[in-house]
């Protein structure tokens, strides 16, 4: 089989060469679509491929991806980002895959690794993602009667690992796009809403929370919202009201949070409120609930790491050094 590597890039001079070098052994063609670089990105790409195209940025990564895919000629398309790379072991695995992949497989998933560095939104250091796609798909009818076209792709989970080395956090860019979607009245899908919540909670600043608050207040009041989505909306509304020092909203969403099953993030936010006011016994109560009585929905670090650190700090402040040490030791288990 042949593989077309399709990339969209912009100002990637710091990492592009490392990425392209690692892709050369597995690629039958390298397609680089530039969306407006002002650095040496295109010059670096030209050292590895003559298939470089410009694409006028529309504000949609999907538009750019679709254009890059339209240029591909290979049997399969490998979708890569400039801050990824394959090491020698996984290049070898990829080459074996090229020789042995069954024709009926339409999507190959690979492990995306190194995710917990750089304050990304991801709660897993290693997770399967679709990375290799059959370019042309054959549609087949199923069932002897009441026949229908098979719409479920045949997916293969490989053991190939892709190293992700982001040079910077893209949260600011992504949050601005979410804010524009809200401003324009665009529908945010459940998948994108989950990403928005994570990016906002983990990397948002006061201005991001102020702009997001009305939208998440609307979610809190929506009928028929599932419990986990409501908890996420309450968490954002509570954190936003705390950052804006809006005591009425703080009281409102803290009470609603307390009446729910709770989450580690909600408990951490309440713990933070008391800690900042030097009410360490109350803060410790909420951090304990974060670590041992609830589960994280947004940021996995709120499940154990953050509350245990804070518990240790609380008991340091309360001069209970033995208990402080016990919680600090739990971090190393």
Query: Within this chain, do residues 81 and 36 fall inside the same structural domain, yes or no?
Result: yes
Residues 50 and 114 in one domain: yes
Residue 48: CB partners within 8 Å, gap ≥ 6? Answer: 20, 21, 24, 30
Half-sphere exposure of 167 (CA within 13 A, CB side): 13
Q: What pLDDT score does 20 carry?
A: 97
**pLDDT digit of tens for each residue in the chain (333 aa)?**
999 999 999 999 999 999 999 999 999 999 999 999 999 999 999 999 999 999 999 989 999 999 999 999 999 999 999 999 999 999 999 999 999 999 999 999 999 987 556 555 555 567 899 999 999 988 888 888 878 888 889 999 999 999 988 766 667 788 999 999 999 999 899 999 999 999 999 889 999 999 999 999 999 999 888 888 999 999 999 999 999 999 999 999 989 888 888 899 999 999 999 999 999 999 999 999 999 999 999 998 999 999 999 999 999 999 999 999 999 999 876
Give the domain CATH number at 97: 3.90.550.10
Q: Which two tokens stand for residue 46?
A: 């030209």
Q: Same domain, yes or no, for 107 and 208?
A: no
State how far the alpha carbon of 26 is from the alpha carbons of 66, 70, 160, in Å: 22, 20, 13
Token digits for 248? 């009425």
pLDDT score recorded for residue 167: 67
Q: Greatest CA span in the chain, whole angstroms?
A: 75
Domain end: 140, 164, 188, which one?
Answer: 164
Closest to 10 measured CA to CA, from 58, 48, 71, 78: 58
Whether the Cβ atoms of residue 166 and residue 114 lie closer than 8 Å to each other: no
The answer to whether residues 159 and 40 belong to one domain is: yes
Buried (b) or exposed (e) across 218-255, using 16+ Cβ within 10 A?
ebbeeeeeeeebbbbbbbbbbbbbbbeeeeebbebbbe
Q: Is 302 helix (H, G, I), strand (E, B) or coil?
A: helix
| Pair 35, 138 in one domain | yes
Instruction: Supply 107's token pair.
Output: 């999507």
Q: What whole-number distance in Å separates Cα of residue 250 and Cα of residue 252? A: 5
- Paired tokens of 289: 């609930």
| Domain end among 164, 186, 208 | 164
Alpha-carbon distance values, 332 to 97, 123, 303, 308 (Å): 39, 19, 15, 11
- Say whether both 158 and 252 belong to one domain: no
Coil, strand or helix at 28: coil
CATH number at residue 197: 1.25.40
| Beta carbons within 8 Å of 206's beta carbon, 6+ residues apart | 243, 244
Contact 162, 113 (CB under 8 A): yes
Whether 176 and 122 share a structural domain: no
Instruction: Look at residue 123 in the predicted model and tell me its pLDDT.
Output: 56
What DSSP string describes 132-175? EEESS----EE-SSS-EE--SPPEEEEEEEEEE--SS--HHHHH
180 and 154 in a common domain: no
Task: Give residue 260's pLDDT.
Answer: 84
Q: Return the structure tokens found at 180.
A: 């524009």
Cα–Cα distance between 100 and 9 in angstroms, integer?
A: 31
Residue ranges making up the domain that contains 9: 3-164
Q: Which of 164, 192, 217 is the last residue of a domain?
A: 164
Residue with structure tokens 């026949």?
147
């Amino acid at each position: 089989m042949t593989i077309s590597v399709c990339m969209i890039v912009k100002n990637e001079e710091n990492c592009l060469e490392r990425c392209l070098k690692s892709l050369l052994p597995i690629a039958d063609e390298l397609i680089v679509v530039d969306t407006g670089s002002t650095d040496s990105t295109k010059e670096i790409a030209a050292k590895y491929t003559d298939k470089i195209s410009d694409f006028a940025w529309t504000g949609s990564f999907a538009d750019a991806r679709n254009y890059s895919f339209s240029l591909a000629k290979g049997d399969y398309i490998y979708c890569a980002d400039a801050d990824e790379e394959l090491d020698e072991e996984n290049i070898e695995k990829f080459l074996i895959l090229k020789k042995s992949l069954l024709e009926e497989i339409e999507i190959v998933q690979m492990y995306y690794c190194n995710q917990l560095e750089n304050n990304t939104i991801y709660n897993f250091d290693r997770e399967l993602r679709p990375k290799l796609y059959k370019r042309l798909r054959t549609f087949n009818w199923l069932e002897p009667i009441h026949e229908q076209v098979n719409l479920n792709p045949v997916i293969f989970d490989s053991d190939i690992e892709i190293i992700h080395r982001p040079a910077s956090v893209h949260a600011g860019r992504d949050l601005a796009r979410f804010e524009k979607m809200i401003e324009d009245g665009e529908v945010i899908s459940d998948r994108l809403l989950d990403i928005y919540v994570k990016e906002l909670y983990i990397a948002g600043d006061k201005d991001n929370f102020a702009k997001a608050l009305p939208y998440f207040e609307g979610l809190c009041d929506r009928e028929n919202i599932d419990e986990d989505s409501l908890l996420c909306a309450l968490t954002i509304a509570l954190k936003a009201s705390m950052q804006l020092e809006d005591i009425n909203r703080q009281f409102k969403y803290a009470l609603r949070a307390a009446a729910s099953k709770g989450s580690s993030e909600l408990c951490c936010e309440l713990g933070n409120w008391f800690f900042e006011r030097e009410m360490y016994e109350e803060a410790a109560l909420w951090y304990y609930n974060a670590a041992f009585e609830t589960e994280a929905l947004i940021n996995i670090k709120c499940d154990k790491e953050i509350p245990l650190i804070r518990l240790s700090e609380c008991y340091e402040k309360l001069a209970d050094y033995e208990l402080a040490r016990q919680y600090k030791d739990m971090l190393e288990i």
